[in-house]
Amino acid sequence: MADEDHERPAPSDLAEEAGRSFAGMSLDDVKDHAFWETQPVGQLKPELDRSGPEGPIDDPMTVEEVKQDGYHLPAAFEWCTCDVTDKKVNDEVFDLLDNNYVEDDDAMFRFQYSREFLKWVLQPPGYVKDWHLGVRVVGTGKLVAFITGVPAKLTVKGKRLDLAEINFLCIHKKLRSKRLAPMLIREITRRINLRGVWQAAYTAGVVLPKPIGTARYWHRSLNVKKLVEIGFTNLHQRMTMSRTIKLFKLDNKPATPGIRPMTDADVPAVAVLLNKYLKKFAVAPVFDEEEVKHHLSMRDGVVYSYVVEDPDKPGKITDFVSFYSLPSTVIQSSGGHSTLRAAYSYYNVADKAELTRLMEDALILARQKDFDVFNCLDLMDNSQFLKDLKFGVGDGNLQYYLYNWRLQSKLEPGDIGLVLT
């Protein structure tokens, strides 16, 4: 839970809105920094940091210079490529993540990635199958470790990079003493380098050498009663449940004229709006229309996107909001609840509409879809609406990292335009 001293979004007699946060890769095996101090990343120890201009840290190399064979694993294990389009493999990945992936510090909640969510995240246009890397037990074939990369385009202070977004580093709990995490990172790096890609982006809840920026999760209650029952949040000592429910009550319908679900016909306009907006940030992705269609088209249970069509100019799209679904298993189940249904703010552009009003509509739309909580990072322009819409600050930070790319100074959350799911 958040500290009692955290600034509240409303007067002190309101609910304890701040909730639990947990995000990023599961990096239990590499928290000692020893591995990262050998890698081309910014270093926490000044004596280890390689000075130079902003840009690549390692000297340039060619694909021919990359190690051609896979790194050696302990004899009991073997590498595999995980094809998430195969139902059996998808089930294996789902089970590994469901039982072993990121938890909050008190082990009350664990991310519950759906099979459809995994397909969405891991199969963007141009995805590379052998960047979905697993480790199996020799003999039994049991999948016990996993890491992924997907191709992406990023601008970093005006320079465009073709890089990999790294995610889902997960190791079976019983094997976390085997030092598999550094092996997974080395091998996924080798496979990415073989495609002529030399940079990567990733996030983690822990501080490693060396974050380029830090964002904070904020939470907005949608189903207060359930959130209190499962221990995600608490009532303030001077607040009753009925008063708290009333406090966080939302209108039944969105108020922005012309807001509606996004369709395929909206993709070109959304791509223009999104890329224009993202240019203002120091670090942000670049999306072509095919990528916008993949990442933002409505997929029930996965991602929800809404556009605003100008009532005075039919067909003209002026704004849009989006959020994705990432539920969590309630490990210490109470009140008969087994799942926390969480919506996460994704990409939002308010061009004609007022941002706070647009995001209030997003909360209403999420509530209509039976989400319990709406989570949002304080990056991009999000800090403009968090307090006004009664978000509470969470108890966890999300660290942003670039691999093999040097920045001279740490970025503020408002400089970051990248959301890694």
pLDDT recorded at residue 237: 78
pLDDT band of 336, cuts 50, 70, 90 = confident
Digit-coded pLDDT (tens) for 223-242:
999 999 998 888 887 889 99
* pLDDT tens, residue by residue, 33-70: 889 999 999 999 999 988 899 999 999 999 999 999 99
Is it the case that residue 2 has pLDDT exceeding 90? no
CA angle centred on 113, ends 109 and 117, rounded to 5°:
150
pLDDT for res 239: 87
Query: How confident is the model at residue 110, as a pLDDT?
Result: 81
The answer to whether 352 and 345 are in contact (CB under 8 A) is no
Domains of the chain in sequence order = 28-213 (3.40.630.30), 216-399 (3.40.630.170)
Say which residue, 92 or 108, is predicted with more confidence. Answer: 92
- Output the average pLDDT for the chain: 90
pLDDT at position 105:
60
Q: What is the DSSP letter of 348?
A: -
What does the CA dihedral 245, 247, 248, 251 come to, rounded to 10 degrees? Answer: 100
With cut-offs at 50, 70 and 90, classify the pLDDT of residue 305.
Answer: very high
pLDDT reported for residue 120:
97
Average pLDDT over residues 83-96: 94
Catalogue the long-range contacts made by 11-15 (C-beta closer than 8 Å, 24 or more residues apart).
12/236, 13/236, 13/238, 13/239, 14/236, 14/239, 14/244, 14/247, 14/390, 15/221, 15/224, 15/233, 15/234, 15/235, 15/236, 15/239, 15/244, 15/247, 15/248
User: What pLDDT, on the 0 to 100 scale, is given for residue 10?
Assistant: 30
Tens digits of per-residue pLDDT, 362-417?
A: 999 999 999 999 999 999 999 999 999 999 999 889 999 999 999 999 999 999 99
- Could you report the per-residue pLDDT of 133-157, keeping only the tens digit for each? 999 999 999 999 999 999 999 999 9
Closest CA to 74 of 182, 169, 168, 149: 182
The model carries a pTM of 0.91
- pLDDT for residue 83 is more than 90: yes
pLDDT band (50, 70, 90) for residue 14: very low
The 10 Å Cβ neighbour count of residue 61 is 10
257-303 pLDDT per residue, tens: 999 999 999 999 999 999 999 999 999 999 999 999 999 999 999 99
Q: How many helices (H) and strands (E) does the chain have?
A: 8, 17
pLDDT score of 32: 54
- Indicate the pairing of strand 143-156 with strand 200-204: unpaired
Asked whether 104 and 217 are in contact (CB, 8 A), the reply is no
Mean pLDDT throughout 186-213?
A: 96
> Smallest Cα–Cα separation from 406: which of 263, 249, 198?
198
- If you search the block for the tokens 């294990």, which residue do you land on? 77
**Among 10-14, 20-24, 37-41, 85-89, which stretch is predicted with the lowest mean pLDDT?**
10-14
- Model pLDDT, residue 108: 80
319-330, pLDDT tens digit by residue? 999 999 999 988
Q: Of residues 167 and 6, which shows the higher confidence score?
A: 167
Q: What is the pLDDT of residue 50?
A: 86
Q: Is the pLDDT of residue 332 over 80?
A: no
pLDDT bracket for residue 107 (50, 70, 90)? low
Residue 4 confidence (pLDDT) above 50: no
